[in-house]
Structure 1
Amino acid sequence: AVDNELIYSGFSNGTLVELRKETGTPAWSTSLKGDADRFVDVDATPVVVGERVYASSSSGGVYALDKTTGLIRWRVPFYDVAQPSSTGNVGGIATDGKTLYVSVADLGTYAIDLAGNVLWRVGAKDGGEPAAPVVWNELLVYSLARDGMFIADRRTGETLEYFDPGDGTSSSPTVTGDGRLFVMSNRGILYAFDLE
């Protein structure tokens, strides 16, 4: 993520770094590994809202960090209650400026307020790797590799529309300003929809 003169980037060793855009020198570096020693990657692009940076690691969940110091303010871990050692890979974080929307492999999609409270969770059907969710007006569009694509009410998580091309969708949905939605199926077919 780029925020004015700063760049936020995650790495496969579980570290989130704030870099100065002009020089590339680090301002701070924070580990998001939690207690894990495996699957610690910070793969999803961080999101900046106000004075916080929101990022995720595969094993640690979603974190809120102080933008100036890199100190962790809160963490929401993701795990399967039946298998607590099984954590989900986060495909991406989207925000409307008040809520974070996070798709997690095999676990579903979450809405989390900026204070770290889970507002709602919608479980996955067949699961699979998640793509980055997209916020458009009052809608949230997200997909999981084996589940297909969902269009949901972003306030409640209620599914309003569902599209299954028969083989899932691994690509992130793309929405234009005028409400055109594009998504690529796992067979390489590009689908277009009108959200209006």
Structure 2
Amino acid sequence: MHLIRLLRTMVWLCLVLAALVSMPATAEAQPGVRMVPPPNDGERYWSRWRGPSGQGVVDGSGYVDTWSDTANVKWRTSVPGSGHSSPIIWGDQIFLTTSRSGGRRLTVLSYSRTDGSLLWETDAPAGPVESHHGKNTPASATPTTDGERVYVSFGSRGMLALDLDGNIVWHRDLGEIQNYHGPAGSPLLYNDTVIIYQDQGASFGAGGINRESAGAYVTALDAATGEPRWRTARSASVGWGTPIAISLGDHDELIVSSSRDVRSYDPTSGEELWTCDGNLFEVIPTPVVGHGLVFCTSGRAGPTLAIRPGGRGNVTDTHVEWQTTRGSPFVPSPVLYGDYLYTLNDMSSIITCLNARTGETVWQERLGRPQREAISASPIVVDDKLFVTTDQGITYVLKTGPEFEILHTNDIGARTLASHALVDGVWYMRTVDELLAISE
């Protein structure tokens, strides 16, 4: 009998240990979390918002770190209209969007990487003309490409897919966007779908801002045909962000950082997986990932959140590794490099270096004189250096790591709100009037 009881006890202990091993790891970050790479040869070029990495970190070397409006300018060409979409690149082609005739004419442009010559331009179908913020334009969303088609979001004008010769392959009307600053979020390619979310519904009234949602959604379209794969309604108000897709090894998640919260969806079905409270109103920056965490920044003086993905339901109390309000941005996205997370408070021209594992402030400094809403472009890391470009076209080249040091200050001589693209040792920069190639 004693032996039987002992055997039963051992079996019970084995069952308990097995159950503990199979439980979700809510106390530790998952080291395998990473961005889902772009399809086809997307990692070879600059095929999407924030480049191959999806978070502004560039592989390779040989990029110049000094320039002016004349020095190291390989070529420059004028860009018609107005638009702040960042350039994307595939093969010898650069793709941009622009707005003309007060937003009534929205156009996709293709330029040659070799000499900057205009290859073609294609107008989007006519549609509603939206109101927008003074710094925004109807052509602020950055396109994306898989090398077969270029995908463009024009807000109330819908989503377009064009072949690389500029022919419209399909056009999908997603409904009118009611967003008092105008749409700006960029589409994301995930496998054979193109995903976008549009948070809307807030408007100005006699009582101030109405923050209740009215028609917010996240949707996936078939990349080849434009047919809807899924569409999920969202209880969210205004936002201008771009989703990211992350891999946790055994499954992928679609992360949407928005007003009031961060949410995760199954990118194949649109099913909501988890939500994390903590964001403030008006979210623009795109999340970044590393160290098993998703880093989200939100709103005017909102917090920076470090969240462990992989949960279910509301994970606010279980999956927030750390949070801080120090140095949080309004417009530019953060950049993660090594153990350091860099954020730009564009409301006061302050850059903050955080320990990505703990959230502790490593250093915090001001770039130039304090200005409100003075930085729109998102930072880039290449060759172990951090590049921060202001709206005035001044780029601060900083040393990465635990010590603050400005290595160079470059002035392109023109207002610059778009983020840069980098391929094969060449910087491609869009100012308000021109597209430039910067290299030796």
Shared fold (TM-score, shorter chain, > 0.5): yes
Structure having the higher helix fraction is 2
Considering only CA atoms, is the larger Rg found in Structure 1 or Structure 2? 2
Change (3 A) 1:172 1:89: same
**Which amino acid letter does the alignment assign opposite residue 264 of structure 2?**
A
Q: Does the 8 Å CA contact 2:128/2:157 hold for their aligned counterparts?
A: no
**Aligned-residue offset at 1:56:** 1.7
CA distance, structure 2, for counterparts of residue 143 and residue 58 of structure 1: 21
Seq. identity, %: 21
Partner of 1:149: 218
Which of 45, 64, 73 is residue 26 of structure 1 equivalent to?
A: 73
**Aligned-residue offset at 1:115:** 0.5
3-state SS in 2 of match to 1:58 = strand
* TM-score scaled by length of structure 2: 0.36
**Aligned-residue offset at 1:82:** 7.1
**Which amino acid letter does the alignment assign opposite residue 159 of structure 2?**
T
**Aligned-residue offset at 1:144:** 2.6
**Which amino acid letter does the alignment assign opposite residue 141 of structure 1?**
I
Determine if the alignment matches structure 1 residue 164 to structure 2 residue 211: no
**Aligned-residue offset at 1:118:** 0.6
CA distance, structure 1, for counterparts of residue 92 and residue 139 of structure 2: 25
Name stretches of at least 5 consecutive residues in structure 1 with no aligned partner.
Answer: 5-19
CA distance, structure 1, for counterparts of residue 127 and residue 220 of structure 2: 26
**Aligned-residue offset at 1:79:** 5.5
Partner of 1:63: 109
Partner of 2:165: 115
**Aligned-residue offset at 1:112:** 0.7
**Which amino acid letter does the alignment assign opposite residue 114 of structure 2?**
T
Determine if the alignment matches structure 1 residue 126 to structure 2 residue 179: no
- What is the RMSD computed on CA atoms of the aligned residues? 2.4
Which of 73, 76, 82 is residue 119 of structure 2 equivalent to?
A: 73
Which of 77, 88, 99 is residue 47 of structure 1 equivalent to?
A: 88
Structure having the higher strand fraction is 1
3-state SS in 1 of match to 2:142 = strand
Larger relative contact order (C-alpha < 8 A, sep ≥ 6)?
2
1:160-186 CA-partner distances (Å, limit 9, x unpaired):
11122233553101112453100123x
CA distance, structure 1, for counterparts of residue 256 and residue 86 of structure 2: 19
3-state SS in 1 of match to 2:95 = strand
Partner of 1:183: 256
Q: Does the 8 Å CA contact 1:99/1:113 hold for their aligned counterparts?
A: yes
Name stretches of at least 5 consecutive residues in structure 2 with no aligned partner.
Answer: 1-43, 46-61, 101-105, 130-136, 201-215, 269-440
1:37-95 CA-partner distances (Å, limit 9, x unpaired):
xxx13x11211111111112233521111111100000012352577xxx932411111
* TM-score scaled by length of structure 1: 0.76
Work out the number of aligned pairs and report it.
169
